[in-house]
Amino acid sequence: MSFPIHRSRRLRKNEAILRLVRETCVSTDDLVYPLFVCEGKAVKSEISSMPGNYRCSIDNIVKEARECRALGIPAIVLFGIPDKKDARGSEAYNPDGILQRAVREVKSAVPELLVITDVCIDEYTDHGHCGLVENGKILNDPTLELLSRMALTHAEAGADIVAPSDMMDGRVGAIRRTLDESGFADTVILSYAAKYASAFYGPFREAADSAPQFGDRTSYQMDPANGAEAIREVMQDIEEGADIVMVKPALAYLDIIRQVRDSCRVPVAAYNVSGEYSMIRAAADKQWLDGERAMMEVLLSIKRAGAQIVLTYFAKAAARIINERQEHRDGIPARA
Ligand code: PBG
């Protein structure tokens, strides 16, 4: 493999040959756009730590959903921001809660768009933890019932995919059983299988007002130091019935995405989280780097690592660029 017989630059000579040998591409089909839904009418308030992202009331969520569909994005993931919080997160499994109503409206306005729902009570509890709390401890088994009820109300509202993000042990199995017993055998479970206790969730906690009021999440989310444990989590979730497994965050965990891809045979998703978005946006706003190029490079790296689905706050911006490139190549508009 030595010079001068082999010259790698032969395959970099022009755009056509680069396209011919390219191994990975990001398509609009890969993208999922996260949205935050709150009470009210005509509300669209920007999240200060995530410029370009908003908390929206249901009417504006429907608009966002239409826009995603028009851009060719196949799915959105919805997070609910309730007006009322309590110790047991009651609004999380209220059949008429903010998220459940949003799902119904979106599914009736844009039925082709897949709706994924976040199943976790932290946005609904006054203490901000993802499980029930007793004497300062986060309880595992009693939380499973609440998560199952929550997932069921999402399925009843029309959610295509429920996505447990709480990291309680056994929640995928509990949710699968509840859904199956209630006639929702076809509802997909996307499990946040390997979710790390990460600093990169900072801006999300502002957006969803879900920062823990005491302690942290290290007794349920994973230690960033561990890799083999991620595979164990993934295997356990698949056994319990997960249809799709996710690694979160994405960028500091590209090695984990690759290991998960190589060790199982179900679709792998990755969550390009709020802090990863905000870092690029902040640097781009300061003109310290080219935001569009950085965004596309990051999304490509997540796909190259082995994720076929990417949840990202960049979804709409990336879809616009992908569609423009396509039009430019074809000489005809990619979409009407
Ligand atoms: C928990 C949840 C979190 C995120 C998604 N689901 C926050 C957390 O664990 O503190 C973070 C997403 C992001 O940072 O973009 N409901």
Q: Which of 37, 81, 120 to mutate to test the pocket of ligand 1 (most atoms within 8 A of CB)?
A: 120
Q: What is the mean pLDDT of residues 321-335?
A: 81
Of all residues in the chain, what percent carry a pLDDT higher than 70? 99
CB 257 within 8 A of CB 233: no
278 has a pLDDT exceeding 60? yes
Q: What is the mean pLDDT of residues 269-298?
A: 98
**Residue 126, Cβ neighbours under 10 Å: how many?**
13
Tens-digit pLDDT profile for residues 119-173: 999 999 999 999 999 999 999 999 999 999 999 999 999 999 999 999 999 999 9
Q: What is the mean pLDDT of the chain?
A: 96
* 78 C-alpha to ligand 1 centroid (Å): 12
Q: Which residues have any ligand 1 atom within 6 Å of their CB? A: 118, 120, 122-123, 165, 201, 204-205, 273-274
CB 143 within 8 A of CB 131: yes
* Minimum-distance ligand 1 atom for the alpha carbon of 195: 9
Options 41, 107, 137, 195, the catalytic residue: 195
Per-residue pLDDT band for 114 (boundaries 50, 70, 90) equals very high
| 3 state DSSP class of 130 | coil
Of all residues in the chain, what percent carry a pLDDT higher than 90? 95
Tens-digit pLDDT profile for residues 27-60: 999 999 999 999 999 999 999 999 999 999 999 9
Q: What pairing do the DSSP bridges indicate for beta strands 161-164 and 309-312?
A: unpaired
328 has a pLDDT exceeding 90? no
Nearest-5° Cα angle at 39, 34 to 45: 60
| 3 state DSSP class of 13 | coil
Beta strands in 25-134 (DSSP E): 31-38, 44-46, 54-56, 75-81, 114-119, 132-134
What's the pLDDT at 332?
Answer: 66
Domains of the chain and any CATH numbers? 25-330 (3.20.20.70)
4 has a pLDDT exceeding 60? yes
Tens-digit pLDDT profile for residues 170-217: 999 999 999 999 999 999 999 999 999 999 999 999 888 889 999 999
What's the pLDDT at 209?
Answer: 86
334 has a pLDDT exceeding 60? no
What's the pLDDT at 333?
Answer: 60
CB 318 within 8 A of CB 310: no
Record the pTM: 0.96
Q: Which of 204, 209, 310 to mutate to test the pocket of ligand 1 (most atoms within 8 A of CB)?
A: 204
What's the pLDDT at 336?
Answer: 45
Nearest CA to ligand 1 atom 2: 165
194 beta partners: 247
For residue 188, the surrounding DSSP H or E stretch is strand 188-195
Show the tokens assigned to 134: 């007793």
Tens-digit pLDDT profile for residues 244-273: 999 999 999 999 999 999 999 999 999 999
312 beta partners: 272
Tens-digit pLDDT profile for residues 17-33: 999 999 999 999 999 99
